[in-house]
Amino acid sequence: MKARKIKAGIYWVGAVDWDRRMFDDLIPLPDGTSYNAYLIQGSEKTALIDTVEPEMSHILFSRLNQLGLERIDYVIANHAEQDHSGTLPQILAQHPQAQVICTPKCKTMLLDLGLAPEGRILTVDDGATLSLGDRTLEFIHAPWVHWPETMLTYLQEDKILFPCDFFGSHLATTDLYVTDEGLGYEAAKRYYAEIMMPFRRIIQKNLKKVQEYEISLIAPSHGPIYDRPDFILDAYHDWVYSEPKNIVVLPYISMHGSTREMVEHLVDALIENGVTVKLFNLAVTDIGELAISLVDAATIVIGSPTVLTGAHPNVVYAAYLANALRPKTKFVSIVGSYGWGGKMVQQLAGLIPNLKVEIIDPVVIKGRPKAEDFESLDKLASSIAEKHKGLE
Ligand code: FEO
């Protein structure tokens, strides 16, 4: 397989994983992904930035061999996670002179994961540089984007930022660059929602740090390269800084139809009140789509029947996930039905301590909804619309 030239002496040597459908057995990948590695040739030294998922190491080696590469001097490990550092052992075996460059925290993690021996690792401080001759790499520490050890690498002369997972997208494509910005935006937003959103405050700081650099290309470790850096920088700026929007995210499940009747009525009432609703039936939904919708929503309304005194397990999972992802959401409410009793509201409220939200009075009823229950749902819709006043 051939390396793909970005410019003279700079190549993409990664692997596209068209078939992968889950990451960490947690995150759905409807569009596959890629593991991007980059080769940088200076007049004196050669560096490889990141490697690939070990299962695809043969593709990385095939591309490196096609270049007739004799020597790698440095392997830049921006991030210890195995989809980027997992092929380090084979690279170090094939290039016995190569040294791994990483942050001190990353060194510890590489040792813990058995990915490199101590004697082969050189740690670098924030802002440190490494000369390849006529090219210079600068290392920018970016802890918690999204692990504690991560760093970004900036190629000074060519003004290329290699930010590893930061700005990445799970998108398998033959395009080296983002050509369809609609598709690129959706894939990057899904990636942000699932991976980066829990670290939104830290992302804000790192975004500021990155914006101090003059950047011609952003070349992440997943998905296509951004040759219009402002496209992804502006998107991130919106996701981490903007006020939430006039949107209700409504994940629900219904066992015998009562909760569905309530949800359908509430959706209509919210629409009447000028509120956009994103509805997710948790029996069939792609949890990634739900995560994307949480990026912008001002309110989450959870809809659940009562199962063995608590919420339906799928709803518990969705609430747990929303809590872990820490979206900008400001308000939460709960709607649903029970047969003979239960503590669903207390249970769900207890599952979302990370969400700094105001709880709007839930509407939880006995059996099928009746006229007064529909009135309560109308009031809930009006109350949400009132709280959303002023939001876009
Ligand atoms: Fe793509 Fe955090 O690994």
Residue pLDDT, tens place only, 280-293: 999 999 999 999 99
Q: What is the mean pLDDT of the chain?
A: 96
3-state DSSP call for residue 270?
A: helix
Decide whether any atom of ligand 1 lies within 6 Å of the 63 Cβ: no
Q: Residue 334 and residue 301: Cα distance in Å, rounded?
A: 5
Alpha helices in the chain (DSSP H): 57-66, 82-85, 88-94, 104-112, 181-191, 200-210, 229-241, 258-272, 287-294, 313-325, 344-350, 371-387
The answer to the question of residue 392 being in a domain is: no
Ligand 1 centroid – CA 63 distance (Å): 21
Do 229 and 100 lie in a common domain?
Answer: yes
Ligand 1 centroid – CA 164 distance (Å): 7
Ligand 1 centroid – CA 20 distance (Å): 14
Sign of CA dihedral 367, 371, 372, 374: positive
Ligand 1 centroid – CA 81 distance (Å): 6
Number of folded domains in the chain? 2
Least confident among 17-26, 154-163, 167-176, 352-361: 17-26
Query: Which residue has a Cα nearest atom 1 of ligand 1?
Result: 165
* pLDDT the model gives residue 25: 77
Domain boundary among 241, 257, 275: 241
Among candidate residues 21, 20, 22, 52, the one with its CA nearest the CA of residue 37: 52
Ligand 1 centroid – CA 383 distance (Å): 41
Count of CA atoms in the C-beta half-sphere (13 A) of 280? 23
Do 227 and 251 lie in a common domain?
Answer: no
Whether 22 shows a pLDDT value over 90: the answer reads no
Q: Residue 286 and residue 26: Cα distance in Å, rounded?
A: 11
CATH (domain of 339): 3.40.50.360
Atom of ligand 1 nearest to the CA of 35: 1
Do 208 and 283 lie in a common domain?
Answer: no
Domain that holds residue 310: 245-387
For the residues of 191-233, what is the DSSP string, one character each?
Answer: HIIIIIGGGHHHHHHHHHHHTTS--SEE--SSS-BBSSHHHHH
Decide whether any atom of ligand 1 lies within 6 Å of the 165 Cβ: yes
Among candidate residues 123, 151, 365, the one with its CA nearest the CA of residue 261: 365
Atom of ligand 1 nearest to the CA of 221: 1
Decide whether any atom of ligand 1 lies within 6 Å of the 81 Cβ: yes
The tens digit of pLDDT for each residue in 344-368 reads 999 999 999 999 999 999 999 999 9
Answer yes or no: are the C-beta atoms of 300 and 326 closer than 8 Å.
Answer: no
Ligand 1 centroid – CA 84 distance (Å): 7
* pLDDT the model gives residue 367: 95
Supply 118's token pair. 């101590």
Decide whether any atom of ligand 1 lies within 6 Å of the 107 Cβ: no
Decide whether any atom of ligand 1 lies within 6 Å of the 221 Cβ: yes
Supply 252's token pair. 């629900």
Ligand 1 centroid – CA 355 distance (Å): 25
Decide whether any atom of ligand 1 lies within 6 Å of the 194 Cβ: no
Residues 286-296, buried b or exposed e (16+ Cβ, 10 A)? Answer: ebbbbbbbbbb
Do 222 and 273 lie in a common domain?
Answer: no
Decide whether any atom of ligand 1 lies within 6 Å of the 84 Cβ: yes
Atom of ligand 1 nearest to the CA of 146: 2
Do 236 and 105 lie in a common domain?
Answer: yes
Query: Whole-model pTM?
Result: 0.95
Ligand 1 centroid – CA 165 distance (Å): 5
Q: Residue 66 and residue 73: Cα distance in Å, rounded?
A: 18
Do 377 and 340 lie in a common domain?
Answer: yes
What are the backbone angles phi and psi of residue 375, rounded to the nearest 5°? -65, -40
Decide whether any atom of ligand 1 lies within 6 Å of the 222 Cβ: yes
Ligand 1 centroid – CA 37 distance (Å): 12
Whether 373 shows a pLDDT value over 90: the answer reads yes
Do 233 and 277 lie in a common domain?
Answer: no
Domain boundary among 241, 268, 292: 241
Q: Residue 302 and residue 294: Cα distance in Å, rounded?
A: 13
* CB-count exposure of residue 58 (10 Å: 0-12, 13-18, 19+): middle
Ligand 1 centroid – CA 353 distance (Å): 27
Ligand 1 centroid – CA 284 distance (Å): 27
Decide whether any atom of ligand 1 lies within 6 Å of the 53 Cβ: no
Query: Which residue has a Cα nearest atom 2 of ligand 1?
Result: 81
The tens digit of pLDDT for each residue in 89-120 reads 999 999 999 999 999 999 999 999 999 999 99
Do 203 and 261 lie in a common domain?
Answer: no
Among candidate residues 164, 368, 345, the one with its CA nearest the CA of residue 262: 368
Within 8 A by CB and 6+ apart from 80, the residues are 102, 106, 109, 110, 113, 115, 147, 149
> How many C-beta neighbours within 10 Å does residue 45 have?
17
The answer to the question of residue 204 being in a domain is: yes
The tens digit of pLDDT for each residue in 212-242 reads 999 999 999 999 999 999 999 999 999 999 9
Domain boundary among 222, 241, 260: 241
Do 64 and 119 lie in a common domain?
Answer: yes
Query: Which residue has a Cα nearest atom 3 of ligand 1?
Result: 81
For helices 181-191 and 229-241, what crossing angle results, to 10°?
A: 40
* pLDDT the model gives residue 172: 96
Do 262 and 220 lie in a common domain?
Answer: no
Query: Average pLDDT in the 381-391 region?
Result: 97
Do 17 and 155 lie in a common domain?
Answer: yes
Decide whether any atom of ligand 1 lies within 6 Å of the 79 Cβ: yes
Decide whether any atom of ligand 1 lies within 6 Å of the 170 Cβ: no
Partners of 307 in the beta sheet?
310
Within 8 A by CB and 6+ apart from 34, the residues are 14, 15, 16, 17, 171, 172, 173, 222, 223
Ligand 1 centroid – CA 359 distance (Å): 34
What does DSSP say about strands 151-155 and 136-141: parallel, antiparallel, or unpaired? antiparallel
Query: Average pLDDT in the 63-77 region?
Result: 95
The answer to the question of residue 236 being in a domain is: yes
